[in-house]
Amino acid sequence: MTKRNAVLVLLAAALGGLLIANQPWLTLQYTDGAVTETLQLTGTQLNAALMPVLIAILIGALVLPLVQGISSKILAVILGAQAIFLAAVAWQTWRAGVSPAASFLAEKTGITGGAQLDLITAHTQSAMGGVTIGCAAVALLGAVMALFVKSTHTTGTSRYDRVTQPRAESSRTTAATAVAATGGSAVAVAVGEDPVAEADRISDWDALTKDQDPTV
């Protein structure tokens, strides 16, 4: 799970929600005198709050890759809250039935005070409200992914390891070459000892084995 995946999920939810919010949510048939008229209303017409919250989620998804650390976590929480608010707005609009259409009927018929709703002879609600709630759920999932995503920054330790490992390999190769080339004295060089001092100790040991005083 990466931040890129979270951003893609949020973008899909926001763009899908914007598309669905502008589709017909409610279709009315009403009588205007002796004539039966049909009126279709989109989600954004029924509830003006749908568009701003969807745009806010879209902007948040675009900004998310640009922030890191605690700012990224805060933005993820804000996006989650916006997703929950979107679901609440969509549900409220969907369950309101024909009530949000009152102002549009008043504009069409000139009748106000609630009497315009009595002119409705039939109405049909599409599934777009439910689909918008689904988009809100997807946006909430993207926000949760962004909240718990692991950082992709390279740590100092791993960079140190990548730098020092070749050096260590080079040092071991050099030491092995020195051993093969110079024999035992290279061991002293590999462990950081003075080769001259090592040779003196060998000479002292040879003198002792011959019952000679090495200090003379």
Predicted local confidence at residue 122, as pLDDT = 85
- We report the CATH number of the domain holding residue 121 as 1.20.140
Regarding whether 185 and 113 lie in a shared domain, the answer is: no
Would residue 161 count as lying in a domain?
A: no
Q: Which of 130, 148, 166 is the last residue of a domain?
A: 148
Predicted local confidence at residue 36, as pLDDT = 84
Long-range residue pairs from 128-131, CB within 8 A, at least 24 positions apart, any chain = 128/20, 128/21, 128/23, 128/24, 128/25, 128/43, 129/25, 129/43, 129/90, 129/91, 129/93, 129/94, 130/94, 131/20
**Residue 188, domain extent:** 177-216
**Digitized pLDDT (tens) for each residue of the chain, 216 residues in all:** 788 999 999 999 999 999 999 999 999 888 877 788 888 999 999 999 999 999 999 999 999 999 999 999 999 999 999 999 999 999 999 888 888 888 888 887 777 777 778 788 888 899 999 999 999 999 999 999 999 987 554 444 445 445 445 555 555 555 455 444 555 444 444 445 555 555 666 666 666 666 666 565
Regarding whether 135 and 181 lie in a shared domain, the answer is: no
**Phi, psi for 154 (deg, rounded to 5):** -75, 125
CB neighbours of residue 105 within 10 Å: 25
33 contacts 92 by C-beta, under 8 angstroms: no
HSE of 43, CA atoms in CB hemisphere, 13 A: 30
Predicted local confidence at residue 197, as pLDDT = 57
Regarding whether 214 and 126 lie in a shared domain, the answer is: no
58 contacts 11 by C-beta, under 8 angstroms: yes
Q: Which of 129, 148, 167 is the last residue of a domain?
A: 148
Name which of 44, 49, 11, 55 is nearest 128 in CA terms: 44
Predicted local confidence at residue 183, as pLDDT = 52
Q: Which of 131, 148, 165 is the last residue of a domain?
A: 148
Regarding whether 76 and 182 lie in a shared domain, the answer is: no
Q: Which residue has the tokens 């929480």?
A: 77
151 contacts 2 by C-beta, under 8 angstroms: no
Q: Report how many domains make up the chain.
A: 2
Predicted local confidence at residue 193, as pLDDT = 52
Q: Indicate the burial class of 106 (C-beta count within 10 angstroms; 0-12, 13-18, 19 or more).
A: middle
Regarding whether 202 and 137 lie in a shared domain, the answer is: no
Predicted local confidence at residue 157, as pLDDT = 47
